[in-house]
Amino acid sequence: MSVSRIEIGARISLGETCKRDGVDRTAALFSESTGRVIVSIGREDEVKFFGLCEACGIPVLRIGVTDNSGHLEIQDIANWNLGDLGAAHKGTLAELFG
């Protein structure tokens, strides 16, 4: 049995996160100073999700969209092909340690 793999890409912008949190792009991407969670929801559920977060006092910010481009794009930083990222993820340790 073969498994079909769907590569869901994303287009992300860090501008609003940096402005809201008073951090630069490096901190927005890599800082562990605060807990952050990325959630992917359908457009039809966006208003409901934002309302739930607001009602619970949870700050929420839309940072991008998912798509079927096969790429992960972080605006003004990088644009990676998901196949290349997957190969690097799977191959690096094996290449280093056999």
What pLDDT sits at residue 82? 93
Give 18: exposed, middle or buried? Use CB within 10 Å, 0-12, 13-18, 19+: middle
Within-domain flag for 52: no
Within-domain flag for 81: yes
Within-domain flag for 56: no
What pLDDT sits at residue 1? 47
Domain count, the chain: 1
Within-domain flag for 83: yes
Q: What is the dihedral of CA 86, 72, 65, 54, to 10 degrees?
A: 80
Within-domain flag for 18: yes
Query: Nearest 5°: CA angle at 64, between 58 and 69?
Result: 145
What pLDDT sits at residue 5? 63
Per-10-residue mean pLDDT, the chain, length 98: 68 94 91 82 94 95 93 96 90 81
Question: Which two structure tokens, joined as six digits, stand for 59?
Answer: 């700050």
